[in-house]
Structure 1
């Protein structure tokens, strides 16, 4: 309890925007992976880096990380062949995960590109 009380004054030293930011639940590796893929599709330029970084930030504000992972898993499994991939193509939950990601990506496209 005393540690919390000692750290409380430090909160006021943070810039105002840092105090109001939502919790970042996307790990750095996931954000970097998205940016690398986005830049591969949009060019390896500083402008693409800025826009792709913006896009994953927007997606992270819309879609919880667990939902993002579920959608990415569905999309990866749809790329495989065989009977198991059918489970990820023709089910409502799988389609829902992908639809949520696509909506978040559309919002990011509007705001960042």
Structure 2
């Protein structure tokens, strides 16, 4: 019994693979915006809340928050007409970030819907 307690104590003393802050680096407001948009696209039902919440969790586990913000900003600015938005539509960095988020969303679709 004593050996068991020593093993458990040793396991508890070991650091985990990641702390909670690293696992949840997307702010609540960003997660909520994603879920609201997802629900609008998939029906505003109790089931869609669960599926859309799952979806942002999957996206957040695949794409770092700063990369997600880059993609979100690029998509938003690409909708604006004019010279400024052309830079975002043709930027390799923006296109790459958008593609990363879209791949993560495709994975979320498979896992959650």
Common fold: TM-score over 0.5: yes
Q: Distance in 2 between matches of 1:23 and 1:72?
A: 20
1:1-113 mapped onto 2 (5 Å cutoff)? 23-113=23-113
Partner of 1:16: none
SS in 2 for 1:80: coil
TM-score (norm 2): 0.80
RMSD after superposition: 1.8
Conserved? CA contact 2:23–2:61, under 8 Å: no
Would you say how many aligned residue pairs link Structure 1 and Structure 2? 97
Q: Distance in 1 between matches of 2:96 and 2:32?
A: 25
Name structure 2 gaps, 5 residues minimum: 1-8, 13-17
SS in 2 for 1:26: coil
Q: Distance in 1 between matches of 2:30 and 2:66?
A: 12
Partner of 1:15: none
TM-score (norm 1): 0.80
Greater radius of gyration (CA): 2
